[in-house]
Amino acid sequence: MTALPKPKAKDDTLYWDDNGRVICGKHAGSSLRYTLRTLSGHRAPPVSAADRAEAAKMGHVIDCETCGRK
């Protein structure tokens, strides 16, 4: 029996998905969750502190589009 692959995405980390979408590792689709790549094949980097600071300057909060995790 083959062992199941372990997810590369961390449940409590936010990632940039296709088209600027932000999703946490827990709610990411299989591609992002297991390969850290979007469906279109691009790398899905984690949301950084600099990203959060820039969004805050514009009056926005970056959160998971599914569960609202910040």
Reduce the DSSP state of residue 61 to 3 states and report it.
coil
Domain ranges of the chain: 1-70
CB atoms within 10 A of CB 19: 7
Helix (H) or strand (E) holding 14: strand 14-16
The one-letter amino acid code at 12 reads D
Length of the chain: 70
Q: Per residue in 7-47, pLDDT tens?
A: 999 999 999 999 999 999 999 999 999 999 999 999 999 99
Structure tokens belonging to residue 60: 């926005």
Any idea what the Cα angle at residue 36 is, between residues 70 and 33, rounded to 5°? 70
In the DSSP assignment, the letter for residue 46 is B
Write down the pTM of the prediction.
0.90
